[in-house]
Copies of this chain bind each other. A is one copy, B any other.
Amino acid sequence: MTPIRINHVAIVVPDVAQALQFWQDALGMTVSHIERNAQEAVEIAFLPVGEGEIELIAPITDDSGVARYLAKSGAGLHHICLEVADIEASMAQIAKTGAELINESPRIRDDGIRYAFVHPKSTGGVLLELYQLPTVAKP
């Protein structure tokens, strides 16, 4: 039940356009799309690399969770996301060892991705997200 790949690495920045001056212009990465998520009050730029992505996340209000994180901890690495084949099996195995999950059961995004977070105190200080991609229906 080993994870499949690093799906993404998420970086919190004060401003996406400014951060892109490095990741896009200096490093030569390409932005696949920029998304505004009103519910989380963030703007996210997605930069694919190999089988994964770099995500640059900036708050768009002063009172969002990401805004508070930025004010407290500063810009930088925020979390990593590993893709798994069966998120419920992975979560059950994690819980069985006594590690702490932030979500008791998987949450589901609009695009069908199932996800859950593991608490940094169980991972060695890293906020870890697990992703299970939706099964593509066979024709």
Contact = CB atoms under 8 A, between A and B. Distances in A.
Interface in A38-62: 49-52, 54, 56
Contacts of A26: 93-94, 96-97, 99, 122
A5 B49 CA distance: 5
Interface of A: 1-6, 9, 11-14, 18-19, 21-23, 25-30, 49-52, 54, 56, 74-77, 80, 82-83, 90, 93-94, 96-97, 99, 120, 122-126
A45 B37 CA distance: 36
Copies of this subunit: 2
Contact of A9 (B4, B6, B75): B6
A23 B124 CA distance: 9
Contacts of A30: 2
Name the residue among A56, A82, A97, A126 with the largest chain B CB count within 10 angstroms: A126
Contact of A5 (B3, B13, B51): B51
